Amino acid sequence: MRIFLRTISLLAVTAISAAGSFSSAAQQVGHQAAVQTGAPNGNVQVINMTAKKYVFTPSPIHVKKGTRVELRITAIDHRHGFKINIYPDGGSTKGAPGLEFTSPKDCWTLQKGQTVTIDFVARTPGHYPFKCCKFCGFGHMGMKGELIVDE
């Protein structure tokens, strides 16, 4: 009977400990989800994005005009690329661009398993399409997304 009671006590302590760990893990996942959806962090909006076989996630992405954006893209399955228009769709391509990059590039290379951070300020409202600029397979031409700068 003593062994039985000790076993029950041990199981109860283990269950309580596991429940506490699960709650802590759930809180961490909730925090990560807030960062991934791009909740503004002070004056910088951090957006975590993934690139995998023909899809950028999330897309579309919404940011407010005047926001400094830190776009962190991780290629999950193999090498991809990231290219975004600096002028909004249908807007003038003369004058200052609508997206002002800290380190502008025509195409950022996204190596498998690595995260690339792209910093820019969203100056002009509008729709900014982006696409994969490194051939990644049969669906490469359809690997597109959109950044929307709201007023």
In terms of domains, do 55 and 14 share one? no
86 CB contacts (<8 Å, ≥6 apart)? 97, 98, 99, 101, 104, 128
Which CATH number covers residue 72? 2.60.40.420
In terms of domains, do 19 and 51 share one? no
In terms of domains, do 26 and 52 share one? no
In terms of domains, do 25 and 44 share one? no
Task: Encode the chain in three state secondary structure.
Answer: CHHHHHHHHHHHHHHHHHHHHHHHHHHHHHHHHHHHCCCEECCEEEEEEEEECCEEECCCEEEECCCEEEEEEEECCCCEEEEECCCCCCCCCCCCCCEEECCCCCCEEECECCEEEEEEEECCCEEEEEECCCCCCCCHHHCEEEEEEEC
Nearest CA to 71 out of 100, 36, 97 is that of 36
- CB-hemisphere CA count at 13 Å for 28? 6
What residue numbers bound the domain in which 6 lies?
A: 1-35
In terms of domains, do 44 and 57 share one? yes
123 CB neighbour count, 10 Å cutoff? 16
**pLDDT on residue 42:** 57
pLDDT per residue as tens, the chain (151 positions) = 555 444 444 444 344 344 443 333 333 333 333 333 444 445 899 999 999 999 999 999 999 999 999 999 999 999 999 999 999 999 888 999 999 999 999 999 999 999 999 999 999 999 999 999 999 999 999 999 999 999 9
Number of domains in the chain: 2
Spatial separation of the C-alpha atoms in residues 37 and 44, rounded to whole Å:
13
Distances (CA, A) of 7 to 12, 13, 16, 136: 9, 10, 14, 55
**Verdict on whether the full-model pTM lies above 0.75:** no
In terms of domains, do 26 and 88 share one? no
**pLDDT on residue 46:** 97
